[in-house]
């Protein structure tokens, strides 16, 4: 589950008390609306929110230099994040002391909520010492009314027209009820240079969404008695360089992001991006790295953990990861348009991804950010119809028996955005249980939500930056009929 809000990109701004009060006068339009209290931490929080929402580069730079000098280098990321979210509105103050404020915010451009935690020095000028913004589930006190199916479809159509007109969505949307399509539309262009339109058959890069395929494959091997969930990874990767990791981290911990195995993205990835052609290439680059924390002690999203799971699949099955997924996941599910072919190979109907990240607010192809090919951690491609077929195969126990399907999709560990199962998020959305996974990177975003109670499956894919697709998916799932 990709975390859409990135704390390291979030920074604050310090105003005088007069400017702080002016900010409140401009933003508080009715007595019922939440307001910031009169404390140093709240003043800084209001200042950050005002500066962030304006998104002016020079004022943000001025703020960083005065309040967060170590974050000046993150200015571009901060502005990218502002572009992604549309800014935030204060919804509720949860905790307030002179030096700390915890508040609930909502994105202006979506239903997404976030929890802001900001701390300041006790002495003037009250420099900010911590600013964290974390995506959270929409609190029950801010729940949205459920709609009838006809009301929902009309609302979705209107919302998508608005998003497309604002150039915030380009992609495909498929909503099914009990396996039958109730909404299926494509918007925007798959290739802007050639004016090729997106269709329901367009293949979009799906980022981390194929963690669901990897996890289902591992559970197939568990069901067959070939892999043990509590086995250490070293049982299968006998020549793994870091013996501490190999001995301590279990398959269960890799599947739930509790193994402390860290990520793959950063300077090392950037400098070796096109050299990383096989799963083993990633292990050669990162295999000597030690654990970030004691396995099982906390949850922290780990793409590298799912790289290791892909290699476990290869070792146990005797097949390449790609062959195994094609034969044991895609074929039985009827997913003929999904795969992970290298970027230098032509794939029909595969869209071009467009990003504004690090592009000065202008769209450009995401070619220079793409790995050589997708991996067991993410980066493949699919269609909304194939994702719907995968959802059906999961629910109909075509990939696993009923026991292992439940084990695969039932939450095991708590995260800021619900529970995490094995390669699936498991959460309550406005009272409705949904499980699935999202994916996002520059120029790509997607989400699959399987909501068995009311019988709906929501598949959204976009060839634009996050949260283009997840914003649409959340809009739909937040308003699903109760039955």
Residue 40 is predicted with a pLDDT of: 96
Whole-number Å distance between alpha carbons of 445 and 366: 12
Percent with pLDDT over 90 in the chain: 84
Residue 71 is predicted with a pLDDT of: 78
Residue 60 is predicted with a pLDDT of: 87
Q: Per residue in 237-281, pLDDT tens?
A: 999 999 999 999 999 999 999 999 999 998 999 999 999 999 999
> Whose CA is closest to 37, among 87, 88, 90?
90
Burial of 44 (0-12, 13-18, 19+ CB in 10 A): buried
Contact 390, 448 (CB under 8 A): yes
Contact 469, 446 (CB under 8 A): yes
> Whose CA is closest to 33, among 106, 109, 90, 102?
90
Residue 3 is predicted with a pLDDT of: 37
For 310, the token pair is 């892909």
Residue 344 is predicted with a pLDDT of: 92
Residue 4 is predicted with a pLDDT of: 37
Residue 26 is predicted with a pLDDT of: 39
| DSSP SS3 for 114 | strand
Q: Where are the domains of the chain?
A: 7-142, 156-477
Contact 200, 384 (CB under 8 A): yes
For all residues of the chain together, what is the average pLDDT? 91
Residue 431 is predicted with a pLDDT of: 92
Give the list of residues 6+ apart from residue 445 with CB closer than 8 angstroms, or none: 171, 207, 438, 439, 461, 462, 464, 465, 466, 467, 468, 469, 470
The class of domain 156-477 in CATH terms is alpha beta
Residue 32 is predicted with a pLDDT of: 53
Whole-number Å distance between alpha carbons of 151 and 131: 40
Question: What residues in the chain have per-residue pLDDT under 50?
Answer: 1-31
Residue 95 is predicted with a pLDDT of: 97
> What is the CATH code for 7-142?
3.10.450.280
* Exposure string over 395-422, b if 16+ CB within 10 A, otherwise e: eeeebbeeebbebbbebbbebebbbbbb
Q: Per residue in 143-174, pLDDT tens?
A: 999 999 999 999 999 999 999 999 999 999 99
Residue 5 is predicted with a pLDDT of: 36
What are the backbone angles phi and psi of residue 83, rounded to the nearest 5°? -65, -40
* Exposure string over 451-480, b if 16+ CB within 10 A, otherwise e: beebbbbbbbbbbbbbbbbbbbbbbbbbbb
For 420, the token pair is 């995490």
């Amino acid at each position: 589950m990709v975390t859409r809000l990135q704390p390291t990109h979030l920074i604050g701004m310090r105003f005088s008390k007069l400017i702080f009060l002016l900010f409140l006068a401009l933003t508080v339009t009715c007595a019922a609306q939440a307001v910031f209290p009169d404390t140093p931490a709240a003043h800084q929080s209001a200042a950050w929110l005002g500066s962030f929402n304006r998104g002016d580069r020079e004022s943000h730079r001025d703020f960083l230099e005065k309040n967060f000098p170590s974050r000046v280098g993150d200015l571009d990321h901060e502005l990218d994040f502002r572009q992604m979210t549309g800014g935030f509105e204060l919804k509720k103050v949860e905790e307030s002391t002179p030096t700390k404020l915890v508040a609930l915010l909502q994105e202006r451009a979506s239903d997404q909520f976030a929890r802001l935690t900001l701390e300041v020095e006790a002495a003037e000028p009250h420099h900010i010492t911590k600013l964290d913004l974390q995506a959270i589930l929409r609190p029950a006190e801010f729940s949205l009314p459920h709609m009838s199916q006809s009301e929902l479809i009309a609302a979705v159509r209107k919302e998508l027209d608005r998003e497309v007109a604002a150039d915030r969505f380009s992609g495909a949307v498929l909503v099914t009820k009990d396996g039958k399509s109730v909404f299926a539309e494509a918007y925007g262009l798959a290739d802007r240079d050639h004016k090729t339109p997106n269709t329901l058959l367009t293949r979009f890069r799906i980022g981390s969404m194929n963690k669901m395929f990897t996890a289902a494959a591992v559970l197939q091997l568990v069901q067959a008695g070939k892999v043990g969930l509590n086995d250490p990874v070293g049982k299968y990767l006998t020549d793994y360089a870091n013996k501490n990791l190999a001995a301590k981290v279990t398959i269960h911990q890799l599947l739930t992001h509790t193994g402390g195995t860290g990520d793959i993205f950063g300077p090392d990835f950037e400098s070796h991006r096109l050299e990383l052609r096989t799963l083993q290439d990633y292990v050669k680059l990162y295999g000597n790295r030690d654990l970030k924390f004691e396995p099982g002690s906390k949850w922290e999203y780990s793409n590298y953990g799912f790289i290791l799971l892909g290699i476990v699949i290869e070792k146990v099955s005797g097949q390449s990861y790609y062959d195994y997924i094609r034969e044991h996941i895609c074929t039985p599910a009827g997913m003929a348009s999904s795969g992970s072919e290298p970027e230098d190979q032509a794939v029909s109907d595969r869209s071009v991804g467009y990003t504004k990240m690090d592009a000065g607010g202008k769209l450009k192809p995401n070619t220079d950010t793409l790995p050589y090919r997708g991996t067991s951690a993410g980066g493949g491609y699919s269609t909304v119809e194939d994702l719907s077929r995968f959802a059906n195969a999961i629910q109909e126990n075509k990939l696993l028996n009923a026991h292992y399907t439940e084990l695969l999709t039932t939450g095991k560990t708590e995260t800021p955005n619900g529970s995490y199962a094995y390669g699936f998020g498991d959460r309550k959305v406005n009272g409705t249980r949904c499980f699935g996974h999202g994916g996002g990177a520059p120029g790509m975003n997607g989400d699959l939500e399987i909501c068995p109670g009311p019988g709906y499956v929501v598949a959204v894919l976009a060839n634009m930056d996050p949260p283009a697709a997840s914003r649409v998916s959340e809009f739909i799932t937040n308003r699903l009929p109760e039955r």
